Amino acid sequence: MSGGIVRRALVVVIACCAAHSSLSAAPAYVHDPSIIKAGGTYYMFSTGHGIAMKRSPDLRAWEFLPPVFPTTPPWMRSEMPGFSGDIWAPDVTAANGRYYLYYAVSSFGSNGSFIRLATNMTLDPSSPDYRWEDQGKVIESVPGQTDWNAIDPNLVIDDEAHWYLAFGSFWDGIKMIALDPQTGLPAHRPPEVLSLARRPGVRNDPIEASFVYRSNGYWYLFVSFDYCCKGAGSDYKIAVGRSRHLTGPYVDASGTSMLDGGGTIVLQSYGDVHGPGAASVLRDGDSEYLVHHMYDARHGGVPVLQIRPLRWSDTGWPIAGEPIGAR
């Protein structure tokens, strides 16, 4: 979702398109997509100035909506020196009768980062109830004080309605904290930080963009290995491990722990599809989709959306199908 050393230099500012209401068959400049279905409409949030927002009736044609934050909140620049203007890796979930949007603010090449939460009663901008409300800072990483990076959030709710937040990039890998279901903020201060996955021995520990998904009696931890944000030179790839327990330990198909660098590859570069990563799973009735971005070598390596049917092997490992719609 965001490179620990080489960050989002390729992300194109799409704020200029926010007022553009026409539908397009293939939304360009999509990085770190998160999709949710609400009232028969699909809403997508992605990295960009103010958090980019789009909607679709069918996962194929997308309409630009105004960004979540039409103007940059002043505290973003005051609390994050070097803030580029792009808000990273939004993650949207419906719970408690509202929508929870976790997102990250950071600076390039640093683990000086924080995750924050905004909530809304609806995702329809035409509704009188549409209003994003800031719920405050969730967790922060500080250079020289923390060995992890507070970006790439993912809210996870278990079968007993316990809430957790997975996050992390490079540095010391993927982490998790418990949240208070009433507030969406940490259950404890300071939070107890659990480790889920890392790549020891690999230069810069290139692992990030975690997404935890329940299926087949397991919890599956999707991550991105290696580097995004280099256009057609990106070597991002989607990997996965699984566990019977939400907090781990997660192992890959060979039995290697994800804390020891394990991870079974789900999708990697092929043909004109370069650096697929920042994956999440959309469950839509009986259908499941793998949602991610990739760098399109046919168009100069621009990051674009891909949505693929998600299937499962006989042994319960995820298989990415061919992308739906226009690629």
Q: What is the pLDDT of residues 48-100, one digit of tens each?
A: 999 999 999 999 999 999 999 998 888 887 888 767 778 999 999 999 999 99
pLDDT band at 147 (very low <50, low <70, confident <90, very high): very high
Q: What is the pLDDT of residues 27-47, one digit of tens each?
A: 478 999 999 999 999 999 999
SS3 211: strand
Q: What is the pLDDT of residues 233-291, one digit of tens each?
A: 999 999 999 999 999 999 999 999 999 999 999 999 999 999 999 999 999 999 999 99
Q: What is the pLDDT of residues 174-196, one digit of tens each?
A: 999 999 999 999 999 999 999 99
Specify the pTM: 0.92
Quote the pLDDT of residue 11.
37
Between CA 172 and CA 195 the distance in angstroms is 8
For 155, residues 6+ apart whose C-beta sits below 8 A from its C-beta are 91, 93, 95, 100, 102, 163, 164, 165, 179, 184
pLDDT band at 107 (very low <50, low <70, confident <90, very high): confident
> Going from the N-terminus, what domains does the chain have, and what CATH number goes with each?
15-320 (2.115.10.20)
pLDDT band at 325 (very low <50, low <70, confident <90, very high): confident
pLDDT band at 225 (very low <50, low <70, confident <90, very high): very high
- Locus of tokens 């959309």: 282
In DSSP terms, 281 is beta-bridged to: 290
Between CA 226 and CA 249 the distance in angstroms is 22
SS3 17: helix
List active site positions. 32, 208
